[in-house]
Chains A and B, each alone.
Chain A
Amino acid sequence: MKRALLAVALVAVTAGCAAPGATGTTATGDAGIAVDQTLHASLPDAIRARGTIRFMTDASYAPMEQFAADGRTIIGFSPDLASAIGSVLGVRAEMVQGDFHTALDDMAAGEYDGVLSSMNDTPERRRKADFVDYFSAGTAIIVQRGNPKGVTGFRALCGLVVATERGTVQADLLKRSQRACGDNPMTIKLYKTNADALVELRTGRAGAVLNDFPPAAYLATDTRTKAYYQLASTTQYEPGLFGIAFAKGDPALRDAVQAAFDRLVRTGVYTELLQRWGISDGAIASGTAYTDS
């Protein structure tokens, strides 16, 4: 983690622009990654002209994406991956804080070029966007340290307040699980950020929070948070793929990013970044692009 922060500290910070939501970071070109001119040439004209790719993210999901101590820089695996992809494509990658549950719509509206925010590549979402997959993870149940409610699996969530971030596959999973609870339903609370959901669990207003496994494991092991959180079990529910979302009808950018990602996989940069953030379990072999046309 420390090493990661150090790496981030080397990253230049863009400041003071009045973008919607929060301003984000831009990772400069990673040293040693060569620009692929062919891929650069294949980028949409607008992006080449601008020289940046703007990825929306919701920085409340350590270690995937989170705010640094200054409250403004976004750090984590996702920004590093974005930066590396930018380096291959010969443009700067910029991470912009935004609302997760409106991310695809905002992208469709042209506010961002893509969404890189630990978003699961699901059939529903493919109706709204194309994806380039880059990570694999399932869902985990986080409870207070000591597990006072005795949660061991989804069945035990019935009758409890369960919190999660709005618009996530976890929110969807909770809604689908509700049927099994019968007349002892869960009280499902959805929040704008994952951090807000965790505040509910920390203060006892929620009995459990659903997260993807990597950030859940991070919470349960990081020295600053492990005193309050633990995993209900090591089970990963409904494993799925994280994907970078792109607006439909813009295959050029999507394909360029996919090619860049594959190059990172081949050159070992991808593996190194996963190791840097301690999430090597979620590695995938190549960045298949999915579209649901």
Chain B
Amino acid sequence: MRTSARLFATYAVASLVPIGVLGAVMLHGTTEDAARWGQDQGRAQAAVIAEMAVAPALDEADLSRGLTTEQRFRLQRATDLAIYNDSVLRLRVRGFNGQVVFSDDGSTAGGVSINDPAFRSASAGHTEVTLLAAPETPGGQVIRVLQPIVASASGEAQGVLELYLPYAQIAARLHEQTTVTYWRLGLGLGALYLVLGLISWSTTRSLRRYAQRQAHEALHDALTGLPNRAAFHERAREAVAQDGEPGAVVLVDLDRFKEVNDTLGHHAGDELLAVVADRLRSGLRPADTLARLGGDEFALILPRSDAAAVRGLLDELSADLAREVVLDGVPVSVEASFGVALYPEHGHEVEELLRRADAAMYHGKRGSSDIVVYAGENMAHPTQWLVVQAELRHALTRDELVLHYQPKVDLRSGEIVAVEALVRWQHPQRGLLPPSEFLPAVEQSGLIEPLTAWVLRRALADQAMWTATGRSWAVSVNVSARNLEKPGFTDFVSGLLAEHGTAPHRLLLEVTETALAADARCAAQAVIDLTARGIGISVDDFGTGYTSMSQLRGLPIAEVKIDRTFVRDVLDAPPSQAIVRAVIALAHGLGSRVTAEGVESPEVAGWLAQAGCDEAQGYLYSRPVPWREVGTYEITGAAQ
């Protein structure tokens, strides 16, 4: 505001300069014009006097010889009245040699010197007009005109006419004209200045508004009107800087936003973001800050709150968000992951807090809880993923990966019927790493395809070897949703089977429920194609994901694997028992085999066998080991 006032003042002063210069130039011009006009008046008068009074009287005269009596008489007759009336103040007729041949008062003395430049100029045919000071005359000035006398039509100059004309009347007229001109000039320039002033006022006002809008846009997100990342950082810095005030920085990420965007369009995605922004905003306290960092990522600053208060608030927000939203007539339920970093507990720097909130949030995305408070460095940090990805790329080329196999045992016969291939990373520094250490990073990158390809190749190669040694185990390989979505995956797998001369039914691809849900249409088509070629599909971690019954109905599933969380307490918890029984019934009803994961005791194995479960997998039988070691483990409690 003050800047724009100063800008306006600067404009006003700056425009005064050209106005002033313009005024000065025009005044100067006017004055010069007036002087020239006055001289022109004198020149015109003198021309008339010379041609109409003096020249006719001097016809046939030779001024070098003086005038005849008659010529003198004619000249006096012609000029007497003008001289008497002061229309001409003084008149001299002079030869080129300076001699005064005739004068108004009869004297032959006086007159301009022949060496005067004006006289010389008049002798050379020019008319010279000069304004002279004459204190004794009214007005104080006279016009002196020196011009050649051309008395005949032939154009021959005979002498010089020296005329003095009154200036008072011309001066009065001039004064009148210049006064009018000054007024006009003054008013015109004033009006011009006023217009310039208005323009600069209006311009500065527009600029101010524009600047305000720019400032707002620089700190706010256009879609939701929320503060943007820059504004969030600013506010977070302020909040964190308040000593002794505990609070939280929270990152919020929508879980199914991409799906909405892809299936319902960007318009629906934008609408969803607006709805989410509204719900988050309405759930916050006045001191809290909500910002949109970009995409489907929001952030909160919750000042003056301890961990419990934060948890309570986020629970409410989460519940509020979970309410169904109708977008373009389609009901959508949105869930969000909240990553929480508390300050000062988890850091004093905004960047650090954000990093930790981020880590917590990704942790939550991989787990079952949607609100995760940062819990120390063991939370794999997404930024490490880049390192992991880079290393893994090398690992693939340097063959640092190995496959371990965990047997699946037929609960009726107690025989090993299949093995599940599980990838291990022989990391040069960190030793043998389980999949949980690097698969999340791989899922987020393009590496999943080469990794899956590598695993498939190796598993099929290993299978060929154990087949050669008389083992008839089928092999299960885990594939990601990304693999299924990739066009040509089915052909790729068929190709590998042909390459190794393996019958399709000896390969089982394990897919998580979540993978099936992510892009239902794509994945379902891939499942159908694979099954059509005889390759079995297994639904992994059944019961923890999002598979809907309608999806299962249309898919030819070969195997359903009951998640270990249900199996673990199946002996003690009636709900788990109910679930496991139901899953077994469901799978059998769909024509699928049922495999229980995480079987660690003979009692569980027994219960499962009784419940009708087909196969089991777990530490009871074997940990994942190199295939050569699979058979050496004693199978205990398999058969009753």
Q: Is the CB of B96 within 8 A of A15?
A: yes
A18-B64, A59-B154, A60-B154 given as contacts; is B125 within 8 A of A69 (CB)? yes
Residue of A nearest to B150 (CB): A71
Q: Is the interface of B mostly helix, strand, loop or mixed?
A: loop
Q: Which of A15, A22, A199 is within 8 Å of B156, CB to CB? A: A22
Q: Say yes or no: A66-B155 contact (C-beta < 8 A), given A16-B96, A18-B97, A72-B125.
A: yes
Complex: how many Å from CA A69 to CA B153? 12
In the complex, what residues of A have CB within 8 A of residue B96's CB? 15-16
- Given contacts A16-B97, A18-B64, A71-B148, A198 and B153 within 8 Å (CB-CB): yes
A78 vs B124: C-alpha distance when bound (angstroms) = 22
Which B-chain residue is minimally distant from A22 (CB atoms)? B156
Inter-subunit contact B97/A193 (CB<8 Å)? no
Which B residues are in CB contact (< 8 Å) with A16? 96-97
Contacts of A18 in B (CB 8 A): 64, 97
- Fill in one digit per residue for A87-124: 1 if any B CB lies within 8 Å of its CB, else 0: 00000000001000000000000000000000000000
Q: How far is the CA of A196 from the CA of B153 in the complex (A)?
A: 6
Instruction: List residues 156-181 of chain B with CB under 8 A from any CB of chain A.
Output: 156-158
Q: Which of B62, B97, B125 contacts A71 (CB 8 A)?
A: B125
Q: Given the known A-B contacts A18-B64, A72-B124, are A67 and B155 also in contact in the complex, defined by CB atoms under 8 Å?
A: yes
**In this assembly, does B204 line the interface, its C-beta being within 8 Å of a C-beta of chain A?**
no
Output the least CB separation between A271 and chain B (Å): 28
Check if B200 is an interface residue, CB within 8 A of chain A. no
Interface centre among B123, B150, B154, B155 (most CB of A within 10 A): B154
Add 6 more A-B contacts to A15-B96, A60-B153 (CB < 8 A).
Answer: A16-B97, A60-B155, A72-B157, A193-B154, A195-B154, A195-B155
From A191, which residue of chain B is reached at the shortest CB distance? B153
User: In the bound complex, what is the Cα–Cα distance between A70 and B156 (angstroms)?
Assistant: 8
- Tally the A-B contacts, defined by beta carbons under 8 Å: 58
| B152 partner, pick from A69, A70, A196, beta carbons under 8 A | A196
Determine if A181 is an interface residue (Cβ-Cβ < 8 Å): no
Across-interface contacts of B155 in A (CB, < 8 A): 59-60, 66-67, 69, 71, 195
List 17 A-B pairs, Cβ < 8 Å.
A15-B123, A16-B97, A22-B156, A60-B155, A67-B156, A67-B157, A69-B155, A70-B124, A71-B148, A71-B150, A71-B157, A71-B158, A192-B60, A193-B154, A195-B154, A196-B154, A198-B153
Give the CA-CA distance A199 to B55 in the complex, in Å. 14
Also in contact, A195 and B153, with CB within 8 A (given A16-B97, A71-B148) = yes
Confirm or deny: A68 has a beta carbon within 8 angstroms of a beta carbon on chain B: yes
The 5 closest A-B pairs by CB, nearest first: A70-B125, A71-B157, A195-B153, A60-B154, A195-B154
How far is the CB of B528 from the nearest CB of chain A, in Å? Answer: 103
Interface string of A58-91 (1 = CB under 8 A from B): 1110000011111110000000000000000000
Q: Are B157 and A193 in contact (CB under 8 A)?
A: no
- The interface residues of chain B lying within 8 Å CB-to-CB of A199 are 153
* Complex alpha-carbon distance, A71 and B156, angstroms: 4
B156 engages A97 (CB within 8 Å): yes
Chain B contacts of A70 at CB under 8 A?
124-126, 148, 157
> Given that A15-B96, A15-B123, A18-B97 are contacting pairs, would A72 and B156 also be in contact in the complex, using a CB cutoff of 8 Å?
yes
Closest partner residue, chain B, to A196 (CB atom): B153
Q: Which of A182-208 contact B (CB under 8 A)?
A: 192-196, 198-199
52-101 of chain B: CB within 8 A of chain A: 60, 62, 64, 96-97
Annotate B113-150 by CB proximity to A: 1 below 8 A, 0 otherwise.
Answer: 00000000001111000000000000000000000101
In the assembled complex, which residues on chain B have CB atoms less than 8 Å from the CB atom of A59?
154-156
| A97 CB contacts on chain B under 8 angstroms | 156
Task: Kindly state the separation between the CA atoms of A195 and B62 in the bound complex, as whole angstroms.
Answer: 17
**What distance in Å separates the Cβ of B301 from its nearest Cβ neighbour in chain A?**
90
B285 to chain A, nearest CB (A): 96
Complex contacts, B126 vs chain A, CB 8 Å: 70
Docked Cα-Cα span, A70 to B64, in Å, equals 18
Q: Is the CB of B125 within 8 A of A195?
A: no
Interchain CB contact under 8 A, A193 and B152? yes
In whole angstroms, how far apart are the Cα atoms of A192 and B156 in the complex?
Answer: 13
Write out, one digit per residue, whether chain A residues 212-227 have a CB within 8 A of any chain B CB (1) or not (0).
0000000000000000
Residue in chain B with minimal CB distance to A72: B157
Name the distance in Å between B30's Cβ and chain A's nearest Cβ.
Answer: 32
Q: Which of A18, A70, A199 has the most CB of B within 10 A?
A: A70
Nearest chain A CB to B162's CB is how many angstroms away? 16
| Interfacial chain A residues near B148, Cβ < 8 Å | 70-72
Q: Mark A34-73, 1 if CB is under 8 A from B, else 0.
A: 0000000000000000000000001110000011111110
**Measured between alpha carbons, how far is A195 from B153 in the docked complex, in Å?**
5
Chain A nearest CB, measured from B147 CB (Å): 10
**Which residues of chain A are within 8 angstroms of B158 by Cβ–Cβ distance?**
22, 71
Instruction: Enumerate chain B residues within 8 angstroms of A15, measured Cβ to Cβ.
Output: 96, 123
Determine how close the nearest CB of chain B comes to the CB of A149; give it in whole angstroms. 21
* Distance in angstroms between the alpha carbons of A198 and B153 in the assembled complex: 8
Which residues 478-494 of B sit at the A interface, judged by CB distance below 8 A? none
Closest to B159 in A: A71
Tell me the smallest distance from the CB of A125 to a CB of chain B, in Å.
22
Chain A residues, CB < 8 A from B152: 193, 195-196
Closest B residue, CB atoms, query A71? B157
Q: In the complex, which residue of chain A has the Cβ closest to the Cβ of B149?
A: A71
Residues of A contacting B125 in the complex (Cβ-Cβ under 8 angstroms): 68-72
- Give Cα A193 to B153, complex, Å: 8
**Interchain CB contact under 8 A, A67 and B154:** yes
Chain B: which residue is nearest A192 at the CB level? B60
- The residue among B96, B97, B150 with the most chain A CB atoms within 10 A of its own CB is B96
Q: How far is the CB of B123 from chain A (nearest CB, A)?
A: 7
Most chain B CB within 10 A, of A15, A66, A71, A192, is at A71
Least Cβ distance of A59 to chain B in Å? 6
How long is the Cα–Cα vector from A16 to B123 in the complex, in angstroms?
10
Q: Which residues in chain A, 245-283, are within 8 Å of chain B measured between CB atoms?
A: none
B45 nearest CB across to chain A (Å): 20
Closest to A61 in B: B154
> Which residues of chain A in 161-188 are interfacial with respect to chain B, using CB atoms and an 8 Å cutoff?
none
Chain B, residue nearest A194 (CB)? B154
Q: With A and B bound together, what is the CA distance between A67 and B64 in angstroms?
A: 19
Q: Which residue on A lies nearest to B157, using beta carbons? A: A71
In the bound complex, residues from chain B placing their C-beta under 8 Å from that of A193 are 152-154
Closest to B62 in A: A21
Expressed in whole angstroms, the minimum distance between the Cβ of B61 and any Cβ of chain A is: 12
